[in-house]
């Protein structure tokens, strides 16, 4: 991965690489910050949204950062399975993959689960979205966000 990218961007790309086998195994689309809604044909889907990246500490020329991401497992009714079950199964596998690589190959200090929600919608068919938020703690140099601290 190019070193001229910020550590934050390298983390996001590593998250996508970590989640790709999960999406593939579940026949799901994996997408980062989709600009439009996911169609029925694109379900199930696992969506990654970066939400915020805050500075939490500044020890000795280093900056400790807190990247918050939201993973959304999205599913629609399929055969006899209800969408909540399909989405839940996808989120369980994604969660296990994240915590199976808790430092993302040394890019971060930790991953912490923040919360999970449920959103059920009636459209042309019942759809379920289960968003889960995670906090990823990492460090950079004060004067260079592309260098780990």
Q: Indicate the pTM of the whole model.
A: 0.89
Q: What is the pLDDT of residues 90-121, one digit of tens each?
A: 999 999 999 999 899 999 999 999 987 765 55
> Average pLDDT of the chain?
89
- 7-148: CATH homologous superfamily? Phage minor tail protein U (3.30.70.1700)
Residue 1 has pLDDT above 80, yes or no: no
Q: What is the pLDDT of residues 28-64, one digit of tens each?
A: 999 999 888 777 778 899 999 999 999 987 878 899 9
10, with CB counted inside 10 A (0-12, 13-18, 19+), is: buried
């Amino acid at each position: 991965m190019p070193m001229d990218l910020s550590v934050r961007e390298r983390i996001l790309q590593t998250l996508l690489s970590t989640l790709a086998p999960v999406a593939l195994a579940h026949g799901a689309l994996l997408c980062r910050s989709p600009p439009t809604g996911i169609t029925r044909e694109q379900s199930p889907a696992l969506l990654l949204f970066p939400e915020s990246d805050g500075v939490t500490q500044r020890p000795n020329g280093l900056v400790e950062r807190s990247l918050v991401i939201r993973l959304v497992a999205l599913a629609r009714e399929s055969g006899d399975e209800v969408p909540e079950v399909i989405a839940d199964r996808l989120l369980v596998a994604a969660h296990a993959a994240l915590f199976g690589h808790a430092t993302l190959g040394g890019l971060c200090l930790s991953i912490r689960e923040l919360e999970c929600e449920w959103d059920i919608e009636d459209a042309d068919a019942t759809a379920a979205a289960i968003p889960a938020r995670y906090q990823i703690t990492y460090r950079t140099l004060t004067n260079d966000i592309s260098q780990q601290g």
